[in-house]
Chain A
């Protein structure tokens, strides 16, 4: 299994949609074959269409508000000693998280295909909130599928979705979290694919959804590359890009421009959700050695039992609380280009407290997992090492959980 240079990772799959002959594909019911084929053809056309790219760039700039800032966290760096810690503050994007890139692109594709309805899944509620925003912006009717447990724990985002005129469909099956929301959303699409467009909220699902999402979030690393050159005059020699990984959309977006670099120069570190310290449940298929399995239309490492039943997961962070992961991250793992580890709920909470005490940023529980790893490794690294954390979401949505766990705010 080998990565190719000079070709975007989202395009390094074979004709059946598999990365490294093994990950991804499109394991879908017959009814979805045609809509997925149509979407694949449309996307192929649009991404080469100069007018469409111009439109995308226009909305990225004027609606999402790119570029998001790239800042040094001086206090945190000094406190820890060792490596310099920087943050790419993607949570400055309109809506408060990276999910707006994928949502905006899907809304534009939906318009281009002449469909009036758009549906999507959500865990932390950011994918849902952003899709509801984009739907409102582009005049589309929007339905969001969300696990009943997540609706309870991410209320601020649910309020936002409703305010944007979207209908939230609560999902009561299974563990009542993201995995069930994705299933229910796919079922809805099976029944309504003639007039409805589906947006998968991360780089998961059938091949085409992995590609569209990765193509959208790649904006993050395009910006970062420019920002690195302007701050350091060239790409520095020792960089570590740390990102949380649930489905893996922000991590792919954060890394995509840097995958061709030697890993000695730019190390890619993905941090999964290890769950509560004392629990056996987690949402860390890559770092805790889950087997290859098929979930939601894609082959990827997946938390499951011997029989192939999907395991329940547990994480304080709804956005990372998913049993499987993007096939492109499986590919990056097996080619050893990226390294994956996990942080527990407690690690993430501690990291959140330290970062917000010392710095003027407010990372949500998802990127707090990435900060936990940065805090862990920074003291052991040299001063000329540049750690960059993708602070990809804002903690406003975590208000209730933080109050309960930390007794404040």
Chain B
């Protein structure tokens, strides 16, 4: 049977639009709130990425750092992250969820135990920012054996030869980083150029779902709608920060953003 991730892309394709992927941090700003946010935005998002926060995130920009620090300061632990994922999947059985984070958290939890736990709470996929190919081969095979999608990242600096190998070893989804940047940077490459590179990846194996992330906001999302999927993270985390500042309900505000994002690509 096709994975939920694959099904989500199929459904979006049948509606002639890219899949919308959101990223929020578990525990931002509390465990309860982050679950509420997740449940609410998943009415519009096709796939939900859930970050497990780390206090030394070397590839994240200010917005996601702020979310991660806020969650950690509010006491979120890795088992809380799993419980958020589990509760989410209880009510949204068919909505794919992808956990995303840094390798030290997995390493301290123990690789095998971590993957087992992911399986138990029905996590569909994993992104590990600082475990690149080919170092991630063993880990990604373990994931595959447990039916969990390990999502490979590729970037504008990935050489053609390396790209070929990564695609060959990838599972259902590949994450293309739009530009040289941390998360939340301003889109500094023209969409046409990004889509050109995207096509080069896509054309190597049409059965893989390729999503584009980094620098995607309400302003930029429409210009990239040719892709299989688009990831929005920092713009959402920023809205959570703003809502807290203005003493407004982040659930409503974030849901509204995701609604608008969806509308722009439909």
Q: A and B: real partners?
A: yes
Q: Give residues in A with beta carbon < 8 Å to B.
A: 16, 25-35, 173-174, 179, 183, 186-187, 190-194, 291-297, 304, 306-310
Binds A, one of B13-21, B39-47, B174-182: B174-182
B59 touches A187 (CB 8 A): yes
B181 touches A191 (CB 8 A): yes
B158 contacts chain A at the CB level, 8 A cutoff: yes
Contacts of A28 in B (CB 8 A): 58, 130, 132
Contact of A190 with B135 at beta-carbon distance under 8 Å, contacts A34-B158, A307-B77 already known = no
Contacts of A308 in B (CB 8 A): 54, 78, 104-109
B115 contacts chain A at the CB level, 8 A cutoff: no
Please give the distance in Å from B262's CB to the nearest CB on chain A: 28
For residues 132 through 156 of chain B, which have their beta carbon under 8 Å from a beta carbon of chain A? 132-133, 135, 153-156
Complex CA gap A297/B78 in Å reads: 21
Complex CA gap A173/B73 in Å reads: 13
Complex CA gap A292/B155 in Å reads: 29
Question: Which of chain A's residues has its CB closest to B106's CB?
Answer: A308
Q: How many A-B contacts are there with CB distance less than 8 Å?
A: 110
Contacts of B57 in A (CB 8 A): 183
A190 touches B130 (CB 8 A): no
Contact of B56 among A31, A35, A183 (CB under 8 A): A183
Please give the distance in Å from B25's CB to the nearest CB on chain A: 14
Contacts of A293 in B (CB 8 A): 104, 107-108
- Can you list 30 contacts pairing A with B, beta carbon distance less than 8 Å? A27-B103, A27-B130, A27-B132, A29-B153, A30-B133, A30-B154, A30-B155, A31-B156, A31-B157, A33-B162, A173-B65, A174-B56, A183-B58, A190-B58, A190-B59, A190-B182, A191-B180, A192-B180, A193-B157, A194-B157, A291-B108, A292-B107, A294-B103, A294-B130, A307-B105, A308-B104, A308-B108, A309-B54, A309-B55, A310-B56
Contacts of B77 in A (CB 8 A): 307
Complex CA gap A98/B104 in Å reads: 31
A30 touches B153 (CB 8 A): yes
Which of B72, B108, B156, B185 has the most CB atoms of chain A within a 10 A radius of its CB?
B108
Question: Which of chain A's residues has its CB closest to B157's CB?
Answer: A34
Contacts of B106 in A (CB 8 A): 308
Question: Which of chain A's residues has its CB closest to B58's CB?
Answer: A186
Contact of A191 among B69, B72, B154, B182 (CB under 8 A): B182
For residues 51 through 100 of chain B, which have their beta carbon under 8 Å from a beta carbon of chain A? 54-61, 65, 69, 72, 77-78
Please give the distance in Å from A112's CB to the nearest CB on chain B: 20
B203 contacts chain A at the CB level, 8 A cutoff: no
Contacts of B157 in A (CB 8 A): 30-35, 193-194
The main secondary structure of chain B at its interface with chain A is loop
Please give the distance in Å from B162's CB to the nearest CB on chain A: 7
Complex CA gap A355/B31 in Å reads: 54
Question: Which of chain B's residues has its CB closest to A188's CB?
Answer: B182
B130 touches A304 (CB 8 A): no
B131 contacts chain A at the CB level, 8 A cutoff: yes
Question: Which of chain B's residues has its CB closest to A302's CB?
Answer: B104
Question: Which of chain B's residues has its CB closest to A292's CB?
Answer: B107
B129 contacts chain A at the CB level, 8 A cutoff: yes
Q: Known contacts A26-B132, A29-B130, A190-B181; can you find 8 more A-B pairs with CB under 8 A?
A: A16-B135, A29-B155, A186-B58, A194-B157, A294-B107, A308-B54, A308-B104, A308-B107
Complex CA gap A194/B78 in Å reads: 35
Contacts of B129 in A (CB 8 A): 29
Contact of B180 among A190, A296, A297, A310 (CB under 8 A): A190
Contacts of A307 in B (CB 8 A): 77-78, 105, 108-109
Contacts of B182 in A (CB 8 A): 187, 190-191
A309 touches B58 (CB 8 A): no
Contacts of A292 in B (CB 8 A): 107
Which of A174, A187, A310 has the most CB atoms of chain B within a 10 A radius of its CB?
A187
Contacts of A34 in B (CB 8 A): 157-159, 162
Question: Which of chain A's residues has its CB closest to B130's CB?
Answer: A27
A30 touches B180 (CB 8 A): no
Contacts of A29 in B (CB 8 A): 58-59, 129-130, 132, 153, 155
Contact of A33 among B54, B61, B108, B158 (CB under 8 A): B158
Contacts of A304 in B (CB 8 A): 104, 108
Contacts of B156 in A (CB 8 A): 31
Please give the distance in Å from A169's CB to the nearest CB on chain B: 13
B158 touches A25 (CB 8 A): no
Contact of B58 among A26, A193, A297, A306 (CB under 8 A): A297
Complex CA gap A173/B54 in Å reads: 13
Please give the distance in Å from B228's CB to the nearest CB on chain A: 18
Question: Which of chain A's residues has its CB closest to B61's CB?
Answer: A187
B185 touches A191 (CB 8 A): yes
Which of B57, B72, B103, B104 has the most CB atoms of chain A within a 10 A radius of its CB?
B104
Contact of A31 with B177 at beta-carbon distance under 8 Å, contacts A187-B61, A293-B107 already known = yes
